Structure 1
Amino acid sequence: MKIIKNTIFVVVFLSTLQVFSQEILTKKEALAITLENNFGVKIANNNLEVAKNNTSIYNTGFLPTASVSSGANYSRNNQSLTFTDRDTGGDSEIAGSGIVSKTYNATLGVNYTIFDGLGRKYNYKQLKETYNLTELQARATIENTYLQLFTNYFQIARLSENEKNLKEALSISKRRMQRAKYTYDYGQSTKLEYLNAQVDVNNDSISYISAKQQLSNAKRGLNVILGIEKETNYNVETKVDYSTMLNFNDLEVKTLANNSLLKQNEKNIAISEFNIKVNKASYLPTLSFNASYGFNRTENENLINPFGAKLITSDGLNAGLNLSWNIFDGGSRKTSVANAKIALDNQEIALEQQKVTIKNNLKNTWENYKNQLFILKAQEQNVLSNQNNFDRTQERFKLGQITSVEFRQAQINLINAKTALNNAKFDAKLIELQLLQLSGDILNVAF
């Protein structure tokens, strides 16, 4: 629970209505809403509460048990007694019908296991490690939710930038079509020039409408992660900042020390070690204490036995110690201990395998990150070059020095360059977040 609470403490939570009354949904606001409303995070919180309950003293077996029982019985019978007279040697009989007997009882009992071979002790430690494991699983859920949130958030930012670029391109194409119409109406160009401009406007309109639809779909997808049911209309931040402190050696050290998957496997090893000790505890004897206080009362009516008691009452305290030792159980304990050791060995093998896999993923992700930063700089230069080329081409087109085909090609090159720059910008940030997730630092990112 403390991981989730500490994570939520990092951001300032704003209510859903407050956030969506604003024009821009910031990264901090999106993160705060997600941590509060995301379904996966809520389930992780509940699982953590269950694990916390399991580590309570009420679930450890260290406390005694107490029970109260009581009862009442009523009987109505016909009875007969036959006596033998020693002097005469004859028999005499006494009989009665409707003989009533009432019995009442109550008992308060207490039982406590003094020693169980240390099974309770190791079981409690195992439950604590299980809680720690659940805490790490909750942390992994939040880390995955972080990455999922910002993957969708930056996708919206990407599509927003693309939509803006396509809208600008459509505006340029419409102005070109209007110019082509004027020149055609005044006989300064052929109709083919005007028709080509119309085709380009239609194509740009289709691209713009498609971009708007993709953007709308992405926002609905983000709403699911935010845990918001109704559709909302908002913008997102498109500015991206990159960490300048990332170093592969530091990332590798942090990954081996803090990666949530590795930490979970380490807890599984600890749980398996305690599981062996729990199974070995059954080799030792068990000593328990029990005490009870009882009350009994019997009422007899219409006695036919002259020596019988009409009212019998008893109460008292009973206490005792019980020692049990299962010396041989047919070998099931030996099998359980052997299997527990094998399970521990498998966990240790899995940890080593996971370390190799995660280190390999870290190297690949780091290489992708460096390449993506290089691509980003190259795309920034491409946009500058294509923008300069388009501006010059546009001036020459207005002067009639180049054809509409050449102008259109320069326009398409600029659109493609801006789109590639958007892709490179947001892809680099997402890869950076993947690096931070592998190193266990993603929850410390400041947006």
Structure 2
Amino acid sequence: MKFNKLTFLVLFLLTLHSFSQEILTKKEALEITLKNNFGVKIANNNVEVAKNNSSILNTGFLPTASVISGANYSRNNQSLTFTDRNTGGDSQISGSGIVSKNYTTALGVNYTIFDGLGRKYNYQQLKETYNLTELQARATIENTYLQLFTTYFQIARLSENEKNLKEALSISKRRLKRAKYTYDYGQSTKLEYLNAQVDVNNDSITYITAKQQLSNAKRGLNIILGIEKETNYAVETEVDYNTMLNYDDLEVKTISNNSLLKQNEKNIAISEFNIKVNKANYFPTLSFNASYGFNRTENENLINPFGAKLITSDGLNTGLNLTWNVFDGGARKTRVANAKIALDNQEIALEQQKVSIKNNLKNTWENYKNQLFILKAQEQNVLSNQNNFDRTQERFKLGQITSVEFRQAQINLINAKTALNNAKFDAKLIELQLLQLSGDILNVKL
């Protein structure tokens, strides 16, 4: 049996042991999601339904054909009464169990020659509906893409924070060990030792909480991936930014490629065809029908000696039917008027959506630029706090500063690293939001 790469990857992830830590790359996560995610599966099925509906088999362009066949059997008692004109008297003959058999077979064909072009416009409307469903599926995939990497980068963020907190806990434990030695040998007060214990406990609680948050995030990612069995894996924490982004280019792409705007444009096209479909009802309908039939009747033991015992008939029948609903009480006029109003609403909604999306794009772009600036500032902040902590740690070992000052430097470093992680992954998520708005998110390099 042959397995492709994706199948192997899914099976591999499902069989990971709790003690293993395999790297789930962004590319692999995306491949698994597109294959297994429940929302994506439903969207793809909806596309298949729309494709079936837009087939010529569902438009009325093709003729219909039917075969009708039947057989009847009857067994009756019969009696005949005759009047003698000469004598004026009546005579009667009767019989029982008189059998009659009838066999019929017919093949009929019907075809609508002209219906005011209603079929044509309906077919085009179904095609636009199919295109709309494809755009809806694309929007679902884009949203799933963003949801996937929001959770993926949240795991990366929590993994980095856990690493930093684990390092901080190790430093606090070494400080506690040193405080115990100095207290045991009478070189410091018990207060120093107790403060070190409190800090270790606080760091332990913070570290355990971070681990729990990380586990919860991984379970959330499993749902997006469509994997039922809980797995233990690590994710990539490196982040690359698209340095080629330009606001003017993003704005042009957004107006032409944004999935929500494209859906609204398709809704307008569907509404336009809906008007034409309703107007087609003003015209007459011309249809053609043809049938070929065969009939056979057998009458046995007729009381009437002059009756036919076998009757057969066959032949071809054809005809044209013209139907024209001259006046229907104004229902057609009402439907056309409402269809025009629906079209007007769709056009208004499109303009409203354009204004809203442009505003969202502008806000997201400015937020993105600010976040990149914050990222640079936080990188420098971490360097400064790391340098300050290293110097403070040396002075603490020499007994030149108190444990309170040392702890403050440690907290400052932890906070700076956490802020850097937040800035790093927030900037990437905002970048993905920009790409989603511009319709380019599915083309981004991972």
- TM-score normalized with structure 1 length: 0.95
Give the match for residue 401 of structure 2. Answer: 402
Give the match for residue 111 of structure 2. Answer: 112
One-letter identity of the residue aligned with 1:58: L
Give the match for residue 333 of structure 1. Answer: 332
Deviations 1:120-175 (Å, cap 9, x if unpaired)?
Answer: 10000000000000000000000000000000000000000000000000001111
- Which is further off, 339-348 or 21-30? 21-30
Q: Quick check: 2:13–2:231 contact (8 Å CA) kept in 1?
A: no
Give the match for residue 62 of structure 1. Answer: 61
Q: Does 1:39 align with 2:33?
A: no
One-letter identity of the residue aligned with 1:227: G
- Which is further off, 297-306 or 203-212? 297-306
Give the match for residue 18 of structure 1. Answer: 12
Structure 2: distance between partners of 1:161 and 1:415: 11
Secondary structure of 2:325 counterpart: coil
Structure 2: distance between partners of 1:97 and 1:182: 124
Give the match for residue 6 of structure 1. Answer: none
The correspondence of residues 363-402 of structure 1 with structure 2, limited to 5 A, is 363-402=362-401
Structure 2: distance between partners of 1:386 and 1:293: 95
Shift of 1:68: 1.1
Q: Quick check: 1:12–1:28 contact (8 Å CA) kept in 2?
A: no
Give the match for residue 151 of structure 2. Answer: 152
Structure 1's 144 and 245: CA in aligned 2 closer, same or farther, altered over 3 A? same
Q: Quick check: 2:382–2:417 contact (8 Å CA) kept in 1?
A: yes
Q: Quick check: 1:13–1:29 contact (8 Å CA) kept in 2?
A: no
Structure 2: distance between partners of 1:81 and 1:12: 86
Give the match for residue 173 of structure 1. Answer: 172
Structure 1: distance between partners of 2:111 and 2:348: 41
Structure 1's 262 and 385: CA in aligned 2 closer, same or farther, altered over 3 A? same
Shift of 1:58: 1.2
Structure 1: distance between partners of 2:220 and 2:415: 26
Q: Does 1:298 align with 2:297?
A: yes
Q: Does 1:349 align with 2:343?
A: no
Structure 2: distance between partners of 1:411 and 1:161: 17
Q: Quick check: 1:38–1:226 contact (8 Å CA) kept in 2?
A: yes
Secondary structure of 1:98 counterpart: strand
Q: Gaps spanning 5+ residues in structure 2: where? A: none
Give the match for residue 249 of structure 2. Answer: 250
Structure 2: distance between partners of 1:359 and 1:97: 91
Number of residues of Structure 1 aligned to a counterpart in Structure 2: 437
Structure 1: distance between partners of 2:166 and 2:237: 17
Structure 1: distance between partners of 2:444 and 2:6: 14
Give the match for residue 278 of structure 2. Answer: 279
Give the match for residue 138 of structure 2. Answer: 139
Deviations 1:398-432 (Å, cap 9, x if unpaired)?
Answer: 11111110000000000000000000000000000
Secondary structure of 1:402 counterpart: coil
Q: Does 1:432 align with 2:428?
A: no
Q: Gaps spanning 5+ residues in structure 1: where? A: 1-10
Structure 2: distance between partners of 1:199 and 1:210: 17
- TM-score normalized with structure 2 length: 0.95
Structure 2: distance between partners of 1:438 and 1:370: 16
Structure 1's 369 and 14: CA in aligned 2 closer, same or farther, altered over 3 A? farther
Structure 1's 14 and 243: CA in aligned 2 closer, same or farther, altered over 3 A? farther
One-letter identity of the residue aligned with 1:432: E
Q: How big is the alpha-carbon RMSD for the aligned residues of Structure 1 and Structure 2? A: 1.5
Give the match for residue 210 of structure 1. Answer: 209
Shift of 1:101: 1.1
Q: Quick check: 1:39–1:227 contact (8 Å CA) kept in 2?
A: yes
Structure 2: distance between partners of 1:79 and 1:178: 119
One-letter identity of the residue aligned with 2:288: F
Structure 1: distance between partners of 2:95 and 2:381: 117
Shift of 1:19: 4.7
One-letter identity of the residue aligned with 2:321: N
Secondary structure of 1:15 counterpart: helix
One-letter identity of the residue aligned with 1:424: A
Secondary structure of 1:241 counterpart: coil
Structure 1: distance between partners of 2:306 and 2:6: 86
Shift of 1:85: 5.1
Shift of 1:191: 1.1
Deviations 1:179-220 (Å, cap 9, x if unpaired)?
Answer: 111111111111111111111111111110100000000000
Shift of 1:97: 2.7
Structure 2: distance between partners of 1:337 and 1:15: 55
Give the match for residue 27 of structure 2. Answer: 28
Shift of 1:94: 3.5
Q: Quick check: 1:73–1:103 contact (8 Å CA) kept in 2?
A: yes
